Amino acid sequence: MENASKALIMAGEILIGLIVIGVIAYLFVTMTKPAESLNRSISQVEIDKINSYFAAFQDRKDITAGEVVSSINYAIEQNKKQAVHIAVTVPGISGDVTQASSQTLMNFIQSNTDPSNKNTKKYRCSVTYDPKGTGLIDTVVFQ
């Protein structure tokens, strides 16, 4: 009888230990999920920084080919770094130019720049924001 009571006490201790380990594991999993989603999501400060870069081009009508390519490179960098996708379209290059090769961008600069600066093509810029309501610029169009 004495051995049976000790066995029950040991079984109870093991059961309590398993419950404590289960609660700790549950808390660990539930507490790390919000932190992961916070790290993955882009902060409002980053959104404002990205938007301000492209907003500087928005009302201008004298954007050069070099500035267009600089903004394309910035969009490519942000797409890689922030897990976002900012599409950029430019006349003369089909589709989203963030997918274009560096040779295509160099050809674009050469074909739209005049060394004498007399016939250098100038561009205008318009932007559209993400329809999901993130506040981030979704598409940049140079015309």
Q: What is the pLDDT of residues 68-82, one digit of tens each?
A: 989 999 999 988 887
For residue 142, give the H/E element and its range: strand 137-142
Q: Which residues pair with 139 in a beta bridge?
A: 87, 128
pLDDT (0 to 100) of residue 4:
87
Under DSSP, is residue 127 helix (H, G, I), strand (E, B) or coil? strand
The amino acid sitting at 86 is I
Cα–Cα distance for residue pair 66/57, rounded to 1 Å: 13
Per-residue DSSP letter, 42: P
pLDDT (0 to 100) of residue 36:
56
Domain ranges for the chain: 1-40, 44-142
Q: How far is CA 84 from CA 23, 50, 53, 79, in A?
A: 36, 11, 15, 5
18-68: per-residue pLDDT in tens?
999 999 999 888 877 765 555 556 778 888 899 999 999 988 889 988 899
pLDDT (0 to 100) of residue 44:
82
What's the sign of the alpha-carbon dihedral 38, 39, 42, 43? positive
Under DSSP, is residue 139 helix (H, G, I), strand (E, B) or coil? strand
